[in-house]
């Protein structure tokens, strides 16, 4: 359990800052449609919101911010939109990497690499390498990511070790499987935010979300800002996290 989670029920110790916030940045298309703009413009404004929120998260003292940038299901979108999203990721890294590095942000990437072009993989590796010693916000970019695939990959690697006689199946417990996920050193998210009013996880961090607090906000992602992030954190701070145990005693 993270330190922030451990203090989540202690109302005498404000402000309660979640160590790990994960965001499903939803609603770019609807934001654009409501303004008669192409979906691409919604995604472009989505990147601006992302810049604001990374800065805000760093200011607030959040340690990990995971963003769902492209899901393994997003391949079903029209080719042109997929191209727009890939273009935005490339531009985000090209234009923002230096300032993220200056701000002490460490970039991590999770998700499958198999369908990504080689030069994009090189850019992602370079971003991780350049920022690996940074100690402020960890920005975890989930790109071509899907939770079921991540869990299936972990199961496959463990099964291979068993087949090769390197592992006793009895050793496969929750901690072991967790260590075979994409970023085992990153603590589970304390808070998962989804914008645009939809209320589901959509194959995002399903293993890691076992005890996350979920906050759904009605605004579309391009309108999300520091105040909205603080609002979601305030809602999180009001929640009582029990992790399957009993409620903390009050008044004693």
Q: Residues marked as binding for Mg(2+)?
A: 26, 213
State which of positions 205-244 bind ligand FPP (CB under 6 A): 221
Residues known to be catalytic: 26, 74
Burial of 19 (0-12, 13-18, 19+ CB in 10 A): buried
Binding residue for ligand FPP, selected from 46, 111, 146, 189, defined by CB under 6 A = 46
Binding residue for ligand FPP, selected from 30, 51, 52, 226, defined by CB under 6 A = 30
CA distance 132 to 153: 25
By beta-carbon proximity to ligand FPP, the closer residue of 62 and 85 is 85
65 binds ligand FPP (CB under 6 A): no
CA distance 7 to 155: 33
Q: What is the CA radius of gyration of the chain?
A: 19
146 binds ligand FPP (CB under 6 A): no
96 binds ligand FPP (CB under 6 A): no
CA angle, residues 104, 110, 115, in degrees to nearest 5: 130
Sign of CA dihedral 164, 168, 170, 175: negative
189 binds ligand FPP (CB under 6 A): no
- Least distance between ligand FPP and beta carbon 86 (Å): 8
By beta-carbon proximity to ligand FPP, the closer residue of 69 and 138 is 69
Q: Which residue is nearest to ligand FPP (CB)?
A: 29
DSSP 38-89: -HHHHHHHHHHHHHHHHHHHHHHT-SEEEEEEEEGGGGGS-HHHHHHHHHHH
Which residues are near ligand FPP by CB under 6 A? 25-30, 43, 46-47, 50, 69, 74, 85, 88-89, 92, 196, 221
């Amino acid at each position: 359990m993270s330190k922030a989670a451990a203090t989540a029920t202690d109302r005498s110790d404000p402000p309660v800052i979640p160590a790990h916030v994960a965001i499903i940045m939803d609603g770019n298309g609807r934001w654009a449609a409501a303004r008669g703009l192409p979906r691409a413009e919604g995604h472009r404004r989505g990147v601006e919101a992302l810049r604001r929120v990374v800065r805000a998260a760093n200011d607030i003292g959040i340690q990990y911010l995971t963003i769902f940038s492209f899901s393994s299901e997003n391949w079903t979108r029209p080719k042109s939109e997929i191209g727009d999203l890939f273009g935005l990721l490339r531009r985000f890294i090209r234009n923002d990497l230096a300032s993220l590095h200056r701000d002490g942000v460490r970039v991590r990437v999770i998700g499958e690499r198999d369908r990504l072009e080689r030069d994009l993989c090189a850019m992602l590796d370079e971003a991780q390498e350049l920022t690996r010693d940074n100690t402020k916000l960890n920005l975890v970019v989930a790109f071509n990511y899907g939770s079921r695939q991540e869990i299936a990959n972990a199961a496959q690697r463990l099964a291979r070790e068993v087949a090769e006689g390197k592992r006793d199946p009895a050793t496969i417990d929750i901690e072991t499987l967790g260590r075979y996920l994409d970023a085992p050193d990153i603590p589970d998210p304390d808070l998962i935010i989804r914008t645009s009013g939809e209320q589901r996880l959509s194959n995002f961090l399903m293993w890691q979300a076992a005890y996350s607090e979920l906050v759904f906000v009605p605004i579309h992602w391009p309108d999300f800002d520091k105040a909205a992030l603080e609002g979601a954190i305030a809602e999180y701070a009001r929640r009582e996290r029990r992790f399957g145990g009993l409620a903390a005693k009050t008044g004693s």
